[in-house]
Chains A and B, each alone.
Chain A
């Protein structure tokens, strides 16, 4: 059974960097699929942030692109999210998720972590 679990600080100060880790079990990251992040806030609902293949191929949301980095460490079975220069608008529940890329489509998400609430506050 594929399982994902987010970890990281629950509070980040404004203008600092938000850093989260997703630990994966039950499936080898370097076998396939895309590994990425989705966030959920009352104001913006569910918003896809970015996803990465184990080879390094990355897709990210243009609305966040300049501030977001998704990376993968295959041997550790972990992947990561960094969001720089955060503001209150980045306060959300952050989910890590496995993405399936189709031949004529983008990503659908079949396994999700439980989510972690990150609050941006001084």
Chain B
């Protein structure tokens, strides 16, 4: 199984500031990498797939980048509704696997 590692457990960011979240794969997943946002008591919501393609309805302040083993999700200007937990997921190999999550909290 490919192990996904998110380097930060928690990220403290002020409203309006930029947040940069990292995700590393234990082997290459090319660009078969997705990001999800999960708020308390809710299901994860797909934000980005293909490492950099925003899902339908996702605001432009969310952007993804990277390939092979190193990936980044950037939130350009944090809004109040963006404080949540973010997960990366590889879908290059079976079984699809998730990172442990990064919580973005208010600084």
- B34, B45, B95: which contacts A62 (Cβ < 8 A)? B95
Residues of B within 8 A of A107 (CB): 91, 96
Distance of A112 Cα from B54 Cα, bound (Å): 17
Distance of A90 Cα from B77 Cα, bound (Å): 39
> From residue A23, how far is it (CB to closest CB) to chain B in Å?
15
Asked whether A108 and B49 contact (CB < 8 A) given A46-B87, A114-B42, A115-B43, the answer is yes
Main secondary structure of the interface of A (DSSP, over half): strand
Residues of B within 8 A of A109 (CB): 34, 36, 44, 46, 89
Residues of B within 8 A of A59 (CB): 94-95
Asked whether A105 and B43 contact (CB < 8 A) given A45-B100, A46-B87, A48-B97, the answer is no
Number of A interface residues, CB 8 Å? 22
Q: Is B106 part of the contact surface with A, judged by Cβ < 8 Å?
A: no
Q: Is A102 part of the contact surface with B, judged by Cβ < 8 Å?
A: yes
Distance of A3 Cα from B99 Cα, bound (Å): 25
Distance of A46 Cα from B6 Cα, bound (Å): 13
Contact between chains at B94 and A108 (CB < 8 Å): no
Residues of B within 8 A of A106 (CB): 32, 91-96
Task: Kindly report which residue of chain B lies nearest to residue A59, judged by CB atoms.
Answer: B94
Distance of A104 Cα from B28 Cα, bound (Å): 13
> From residue A10, how far is it (CB to closest CB) to chain B in Å?
15
Distance of A104 Cα from B32 Cα, bound (Å): 9
Task: Kindly report which residue of chain A lies nearest to residue B33, judged by CB atoms.
Answer: A108
| New A-B contacts (8) at CB < 8 Å, excluding given A48-B95, A108-B34, A108-B91 | A45-B87, A62-B95, A102-B32, A104-B30, A105-B32, A105-B92, A106-B94, A106-B96
By a beta-carbon cutoff of 8 Å, the part of chain A in contact with chain B is 45-48, 59, 61-63, 95, 97, 102, 104-110, 112-115
